[in-house]
Amino acid sequence: MVTIGLMRILLVGAGGVGTAFARIAARRRFADLVIADYDLARAQRAAAARDGFEAVQLDARDERAAAELLTQRRCDVLMNATDPRFVMPLFRAALQARTHYVDMAMSLSHPHRDDPYRVTGVKLGDDQFAMAPAWEWASRLALVGMGVEPGLSDVFARYAADELFTEIGELGVRDGGNLKVAGYDFAPTFSIWTTIEECLNPPVVWERDRGWFTTEPFSEPEVFTFPAGIGPVECVNVEHEEVLLMPRWVQARRVTFKYGLGSEFIDVLRTLHKLGLDKTSPVRVGTTSVSPRDVVAACLPDPATLGDAMSGLTCAGTWVTGTGTDGAPREVYLHHVVDNDWSMAEYGSQAVVWQTAVNPVVALELIDSGAWSGTGVLGPEALPARPFLDLLADYGSPWACEERSPAGR
């Protein structure tokens, strides 16, 4: 693995999450960053987090250029903070340069052509897992899905299996909050490009006796009560990496992901779909061609700039049911809550992007120390949970376990 000491990290992507990553890493002694972005000025702003961080220009689509940059700057790891479109060229670049690799979102899925709402097509991460033998042969680690969801939610699943349950019925990732953005009729707090991708694709569910299968977008609505005063929020099925990761390493009867989107947000996404504005293929407009989804993204405020207008809490977590270590039915919600006022005051980053960015920094510090190690393509649940959760608390952002009354009790 990486030599213990100063880890040289090529951070690709200096948007909201990338900038938050730089600000968090700036306070940890193990990290030395080269920050790359298509927009050099944006990379320079992120690099201002600490003297000595370097900013460079890079097109994330250029696999060869990324590999050369890794080699020239003698980087130990490529940290991918771009959107999922750029996963595969960066993933391949890291392998070509024989460095380690970490991302927060996995390679894109492609729905089944004939039966998209029952049968999976190309699943999230399939393209990356197909290259696992090459990573193992190179003795390098590709740690995939290491944000908050996926990421911390997967660590929670590992922790539940190792320390809380002897048998797990359902691993249910549940995400919700009460964030508000003043002054905007509609302002997503995370990348709208990624949000459209995961919310309008067929959601995937995993069951032990059935394997992976799909359902309709926004299906199986349920009201889930979130902690910290957030309260009840309606959550619906959404395509997400945890469902593709957890069953590979954690035994459970069922794995789901549900997101508290709210009816207004769902209505907007459905309207975009009806109008074809969710499409990524360019359409002709006058003398030029543009992607409708890119136009939508350009028309909305950059989530990284919304922090001062935001208020409230965001909560990410994993709801687990099954049999506890005492042999009795057990139900818990392992969760992590971030207050936007705190993240803005402490780091100058809004809550959603900060919560996403802190987890890969923790993971890289564990890799640097040797507490986490491995080769091949691994998800967070393939590695021990306790070191991660202990270190996360050391970052000033503790997690919690809420006991709930099991159904039928």
Q: What CATH number did the domain enclosing 287 receive?
A: 3.30.360.10
In angstroms, the CA 54 to CA 72 distance is 13
97 alpha carbon, distance to own chain's centre: 24
In angstroms, the CA 43 to CA 247 distance is 37
Structural domain of residue 375, as residue ranges? 7-147+356-390
Bridge partners, 323 (sequence order):
167, 329
Q: Same domain for 346 and 362?
A: no
pLDDT at position 184 = 85
Q: Is residue 298 part of a domain?
A: yes
For the purposes of burial, counting CB atoms within 10 Å of the CB of 198, is it exposed (0-12), middle (13-18) or buried (19 or more)? buried
Q: Which of 4-13, 103-112, 208-217, 360-369 has the lowest mean pLDDT?
A: 4-13
pLDDT tens, residue by residue, 302-311: 887 888 899 9
pLDDT tens, residue by residue, 240-267: 999 999 999 999 999 999 999 888 888 9
Q: Are strands 283-285 and 254-259 parallel, antiparallel or unpaired?
A: unpaired
Q: Same domain for 378 and 317?
A: no
Q: What CATH number did the domain enclosing 89 receive?
A: 3.40.50.720
Residue with tokens 């069953």: 247
pLDDT at position 265 = 85
Q: Same domain for 34 and 92?
A: yes
Q: Quick check: 7 pLDDT over 60?
A: yes
225 alpha carbon, distance to own chain's centre: 22
Q: Same domain for 184 and 313?
A: yes
Q: Same domain for 119 and 207?
A: no
For 10-69, the three-class secondary structure string (H helix, E strand, C coil) is EEECCCHHHHHHHHHHCCCCCEEEEEEECCHHHHHHHHCCCCCCEEEECCCCCHHHHHHH
Task: Give pTM, 2 decimals.
Answer: 0.94
Q: Kindly state the tokens that stand for 157.
A: 């699943």
Residue with tokens 């590695």: 383
Q: Quick check: 4 pLDDT over 50?
A: no
Element (H, E) at 91: helix 87-97
Q: Same domain for 156 and 292?
A: yes
Percent of the chain beyond pLDDT 90?
A: 81
Percent of the chain beyond pLDDT 70?
A: 98
Q: Same domain for 293 and 163?
A: yes
pLDDT tens, residue by residue, 326-353: 999 999 999 999 999 999 999 999 999 9
Q: Quick check: 105 pLDDT over 50?
A: yes
Residue with tokens 């200096």: 14
Average pLDDT over residues 169-181: 95
Q: Same domain for 53 and 143?
A: yes
Q: Quick check: 52 pLDDT over 80?
A: yes
In angstroms, the CA 36 to CA 68 distance is 13
Question: 132: Cβ–Cβ under 8 A, 6 or more apart, which residues?
Answer: 142, 376, 377
- Assign 162 a pLDDT band (cuts: 50, 70, 90): very high
> In this structure, what are the phi and psi dihedrals at residue 172, rounded to the nearest 5 degrees?
-120, 105
Strand, coil or helix: what is 321? strand
Q: Is residue 131 part of a domain?
A: yes
Q: Is residue 409 part of a domain?
A: no
Q: Quick check: 1 pLDDT over 70?
A: no
Q: Is residue 2 part of a domain?
A: no
Q: Same domain for 168 and 218?
A: yes
Q: Is residue 1 part of a domain?
A: no
Q: Same domain for 121 and 233?
A: no
Q: Same domain for 233 and 301?
A: yes
Number of domains in the chain: 2
Question: 355: Cβ–Cβ under 8 A, 6 or more apart, which residues?
Answer: 148, 314, 316, 336, 338, 343, 397
pLDDT tens, residue by residue, 198-238: 888 999 999 999 999 999 999 999 999 999 999 999 999 99
